[in-house]
Amino acid sequence: MSSLGDSLVIAQRNVLRLTRIPEMVVFGLVQPIMFVVLFSFVFGGSMMIGGSTSAAGYREFLMAGIFAQTVTFATAGAGAGIADDMHKGLIDRFRSLPMARGAVLTGRTLADLAQTTLTLGVLAIVALLVGWRIHEGIPKALLAFALLLLLGYAFSWIGALIGLSVRTPEAATSGGLIWLFPVTFVSNAFVPTENMADWLQPIAEWNPFSATVQACRELFGNPGVSPSDAWPMEHPVAASVLWSVLIVTVFRTLAVRRYRRAE
């Protein structure tokens, strides 16, 4: 309970910081909205989904991928924030206080989760305006959003580890984005995996990102493609939860260990 209390105090500190620097929230909203508009209206009429090149059909296929990309791209901001605190010496002050070692990182990731929740809510409204719809009911849609937030929380621990491992916020931002592009684009987010090269399809199908996207399409009732024989594509909800829990377990352990050894 003491560790939880420490984590919530740090989370509150980071949330208050966001309210005092609102441009951070605004800029975080602009990028996903641009992705929705550009992919929907620029590529929508040229993508074949389920044997059709309907722009409306592609928009519904696309949105689960855009949602997942949005929550994972928040990783770069998480890493940059921790690197900035390290650079300013704030982490050293926290380490000198009688508080749980993992509380600083847990609080930071919880604050990032709160910001991601806000961004996801605004993005869902924009998606509805461009034609995206939910077809399986509110309970399943809420489960889909919960899976997205769980994935975003898991990836934020990767960002935390990167932020603790570099010396400047700029390096953390670059390091946080470099690996995200192959993870998000070598997946089923924007095109069906069956259109990829044969050697690339298994990589995309076993990608944790793809599992969450596939799970969200099923829960939203959005059009998709027939799942492959890969286990994550046949059981996407279970695969999404397992991948996210595994990522949190591994990278939280590594990040807390790195935090203890940080200079």
Q: Given this model, what pLDDT does residue 43 score? A: 66
Is this prediction's pTM over 0.75? yes
Q: Given this model, what pLDDT does residue 46 score? A: 59
Q: Given this model, what pLDDT does residue 243 score? A: 96
Q: Given this model, what pLDDT does residue 100 score? A: 77
Among residues 73, 108, 81, which one has the least CA distance to residue 184? 73
Rounded CA-CA distance 73/37 in Å is 17
Q: Are residues 40 and 58 in contact, defined by beta-carbon separation less than 8 angstroms?
A: yes
Q: Given this model, what pLDDT does residue 226 score? A: 61
What is the phi/psi pair of residue 99, to 5°? -140, 160
Q: Given this model, what pLDDT does residue 147 score? A: 96
Q: Where are the domains of the chain?
A: 2-42+51-261
Q: Is 38 exposed, middle or buried (0-12, 13-18, 19+ CB in 10 A)?
A: exposed
Q: Given this model, what pLDDT does residue 173 score? A: 78
Q: Given this model, what pLDDT does residue 236 score? A: 92
Rounded CA-CA distance 32/29 in Å is 6
In the chain (263 residues long), the average pLDDT of successive 10-residue segments reads: 80 81 76 78 62 66 89 82 79 78 84 88 87 88 95 92 84 82 89 84 93 93 73 92 96 89 65
Q: Are residues 227 and 233 in contact, defined by beta-carbon separation less than 8 angstroms?
A: yes
